[in-house]
Structure 1
Amino acid sequence: MTTTTQAPPVVPGSTAHSDGAFVPVQTRSERPASYDPADFEIPSGREVNWKYTPVAKLAPLFVDEAGPHGTMTVTVSAPSTVEQSELRIGESPRGDVFIPEDRPAAIAWTQETVAPLMRIPAGVELDEPIVIELAGDGGLAHAHVVLEAMPNSRGTVVFRHSGSAWHAQNVEIIVRDGAHLEVVSIQQWSDDAVHLSSHQARVDKDATLRHVVVSFGGAIVRVNPSVELAGAGSRGELYGLSYSDAGQHLESQVYLHHKGPHTKGDVLYKGALQGRGARSVWIGDVLIGPDATGTDSYEANRNLVLTDGARADSIPNLEIETGDIAGAGHASATGRFDDEQLFYLQARGISEDEARRLVVLGFLSEIVQKIGLPALEGELIAAIEAELTLELGS
């Protein structure tokens, strides 16, 4: 299946686009999609969705050839009530929601001929999370995973990534009427890992999706969630945390599409950066469609730069196609330590290093606490502490 974007009409007396024959996609909703990798050219870095990504370092993930398999060890831990099966291309619900929007995602779609399905049955409330662990051994690996929460079910799925890999990954998420699903994706790769992940979700009537991205490790990590609030009264909560060290590139391009009426959206991503060449990129797009009356939506990105030589790019975008909404807004801020906060803590006998530690923990723990799994929250707080130890040099 292929969708195309028509070029805008030529207005008499107008001049050609400054990029010549190349006319970039201007809005998130115009982006083309296809299951065929051949429909996507190898990115040059001029494309709007690759503009901030170091595409020259991603060459293996742009090649549409049969590569080595078995380079990713996958371990699944799930309650017995969870239904697990496999879906070939063309077998529903695979493809009911997901349509690749870039070349690596299309390649992963075709390379993963049999995709695992994790389904929470109707009315079931899981007392333990589904945990999917993926450990790389340095090779090239592709994946497509389908998660389905049936009507009025409730559960949590945790992805844990570690080791070294060149990994292109698709995650397809379907949240049926009245269901509540939480998806947490944790990136703790080795320093040389490259990970491009596309998450696409549909949330039906009166259902909720809470989606959390946590990125610490890896050379280049790009996790892009795209959520469609399709049903009346549906809710999307999209949260993210990143901690970028010297030479790391951590990126998320977030898309929240309010399609049904009376939908609610909350997007909050926070990042900390330290070390020369540390880089984070956040692009947030919210579309409130013409039928999304009564929508209430807000997106924000906050970044804390801890050392010289680090850079955070933050770009919020908002499209509104109806005037009948409850509210909509966006915000972005990037800065260094608040000197007043540090002074306040030091004036009470706290050392400068400890004061800096407390400020960063307080800044990032807001996202950690939204996960709702105490053991995992404690583990992530410890990971932040370990990053801070490197920054403080202790």
Structure 2
Amino acid sequence: MTLTENNVAAAAREDGGTLVPAASRAERFASYDVEAFEVPRGREENWRFTPMKRLRGLHEGPVATGEVKVDADVAPEVSVETVGREDERLGKGGTPSDRIAAQAYSSFTAATVVTVPKETRASKPSVIRITGPGEGNLAYGHVQVRAERFAEAAIVLDHVGSGTYADNVEFVIEDNARLTVVSVQDWADDAVHVSEQHLKLGRDARLRHIVVTLGGDLVRVSPTATFAGPGGDVEMLGLYFADAGQHQEHRLFVDHAEPNCKSNVMYKGALQGEGAHGVWIGDVLIRAAAEGTETYEVNRNLVLTTGARADSVPNLEIETGEITGAGHASATGRFDDEQLFYLQSRGIDEQQARRLVVRGFFHEILAKIDIPEVRERLQTAIEAELEAVNA
């Protein structure tokens, strides 16, 4: 029997067989088996914002017609391997939680494993570039990044090119390791990318996970953070800029099941042009065992033109009162007229004033990307986007 993807593990049947989903995120269903999930139709909570017709059938399990190209430029201390499905390390970061992720896991033929050895500090950032299968082609992929005990490194996942691509990405951060990750979705205009990212932190591990989405026709990135021991600290940051017709969706889940862990989530998005659509879903669950948790999540959206739309849904579920602190915030709006007036009163024309406001809006996220070449590239890309902003 297949089940829906909305908290199905605790679903119960009532009144003639109606499936009633559980209310708690603690019952979130996950499986490697594609057939454990029904084919979503867009009415499900997990899919209600996604334009299903633009998925190119990914949710129905099409066969791959191409493959991605993976290029690596890594620090000398970091190893990169191409491994088969049988590698016992795969799957340790997390389990797929929707049908497309399960399909991607069951369909990839080779995985890329990046390892930072224990007690090693990488001498430079490592870049893994993934180039799409090409226009009209579809591919599945799998990447795992491992930071072993007491390791420290920065990893950039750079997605470029055309085509349709679905993947799972695992980040396994062992005890006392430190990892910074920047996942860049800078696809061509035709690309569709659906990615589930699994973040697993060991005891006293720290992870800064940054998602940047700039291109593509439809991009949906779903990071899930879990803790394998007390003392973990995850910072999840995001920046997205949607143009006319683009759909950019980010669905986050932070599962606090261990005591004395921290999570901080901050995503900022700008939208311009007819049909530009940004979706941000932020779910944080603090289980009964997670005493001493400290968490906060915030999403801000700046709508630059008419015809653009942003949906923002923060959720916080707490099962224990013994926490350090928890909160969430969300806001969507247009330019601050007072800021524009202030800049214009000092001789800055309106177009330039608008650009300055947007630069300031994104600065908080960009300042936390401590890889200079990546930060400069993103600043240039944002400048190019801003050139197209109409008064």
TM-score, structure 2 length as denominator?
0.94
Instruction: Provide the C-alpha distance between the structure 1 equivalents of 2:34 and 2:353, rounded to a whole number of angstroms.
Output: 50
| Counterpart Cα distance in 2 of 1:98 and 1:326 | 27
Match of 2:40 among 18, 39, 43: 43
For the 8 Å contact 1:230–1:258, the answer to whether it is kept is no
Q: 1:24 to 1:309 in 2, by over 3 A?
A: farther
Change (3 A) 1:147 1:89: same
Gaps of 5+ in 2: none
**2:101 corresponds to 1:97:** no
What TM-score do the two structures reach when normalised by structure 1?
A: 0.93
Deviations 1:175-220 (A, max 9, x none): 0011011111111111111000000111011110111110110010
Deviations 1:276-329 (A, max 9, x none): 111000000001111111111000000000111111000000011111111000
1:109 and 2:113 matched: no
1:87–1:94: 8 Å Cα contact kept in structure 2? no
SS at match of 2:20: coil
Conserved in 1, the CA contact under 8 Å of 2:13 and 2:20?
Answer: no
Counterpart of 1:166 in structure 2 is 164
Aligned to 2:338: 340
Q: Which residue of 2 aligns with 1:13?
A: none
Partner deviation per Cα, 1:337-382 (whole Å, 9 max, x = no partner): 0111111111112111111111000101211111111121111111
Name 2:281's counterpart in structure 1.
283
1:6 Cα deviation from its structure 2 partner: 2.8
Q: Which amino acid aligns with 1:103?
A: R
Q: Equivalent residue of 1:5, what SS?
A: helix
Q: What's the offset of the Cα at 1:128?
A: 1.2
Matches within 5 A, 1:1-394: 5-8=9-12, 21-24=18-21, 26-70=23-67, 72-136=68-132, 137-138=134-135, 139-392=137-390
Following superposition, the deviation at residue 392 of structure 1 comes to: 3.4
CA shift for structure 1 position 110: 1.2
CA distances 1:94-116 after superposition (whole Å, capped 9, x unpaired): 11222111111111111113312
Matches of 1:201 and 1:35, distance apart in 2: 17
Name the % identity. 48
Structure 1 segments, 4+ long, off by >4 Å, are: none
Q: Does the 8 A contact of 2:10 with 2:21 survive in 1?
A: no
Q: Following the alignment from structure 1 to structure 2, what is the Cα–Cα distance between the partners of residues 65 and 314?
A: 30
> Which secondary structure does the structure 2 equivalent of 1:33 belong to?
coil
Within 1, Cα distance between the matches of 2:55 and 2:330?
28
Question: Aligned partners of 2:302, 2:138: CA distance in 1, in Å?
Answer: 33
Query: Deviation at 1:272?
Result: 0.3
Shift of 1:92: 2.4
Letter aligned with residue 202 of structure 2:
D
105-114 vs 236-245, greater mean Cα deviation: 105-114
Q: Is the 8 A contact 1:146 1:171 kept in 2?
A: yes
Question: Quick check: 2:77–2:123 contact (8 Å CA) kept in 1?
Answer: no
Deviation at 1:90, TM superposition (A): 4.6
AA paired with 1:220? L
CA RMSD of aligned residues (A): 1.8
Q: CA deviation at 1:55?
A: 1.1
1:22 positional shift: 4.4
Task: Name the aligned partner's letter for residue 281 of structure 1.
Answer: V
Cα displacement (A) at 1:230: 2.8
In 2, Cα distance between equivalents of 1:268 and 1:278: 21
Deviation at residue 74 of structure 1 after TM alignment = 1.5
CA deviations on 1:214-255 (whole Å, 9 max, x unpaired) are 011001001110001332111010000110111000010011
How far off its partner does 1:65 sit? 4.7
Q: Partners in 2 of 1:26 and 1:359 — Cα distance?
A: 40
Give the superposition deviation at 1:31. Answer: 2.2
Q: Is the Cα–Cα contact under 8 Å of residues 173 and 201 in structure 1 kept in the other structure?
A: yes
Question: CA 1:61 to 1:9, structure 2 compared with 1: closer, same or farther past 3 Å?
Answer: closer
Task: Measure, in 1, the Cα distance between the counterparts of 2:72 and 2:298.
Answer: 33
Offset at residue 66 of structure 1 (A): 3.5
SS in 2 for 1:355: helix
Q: Do the aligned residues in 1 keep the contact of 2:179 with 2:208 (CA within 8 Å)? A: yes
Deviation (angstroms), 1:129? 1.4
**Which deviates further from its counterpart, 78-87 or 273-282?**
78-87
C-alpha contact (below 8 Å) 1:132/1:159 kept by paired residues = yes
CA distance in 1, matches of 2:86, 2:96: 14
Check the 8 A contact 2:12/2:20 in 1, yes or no: no
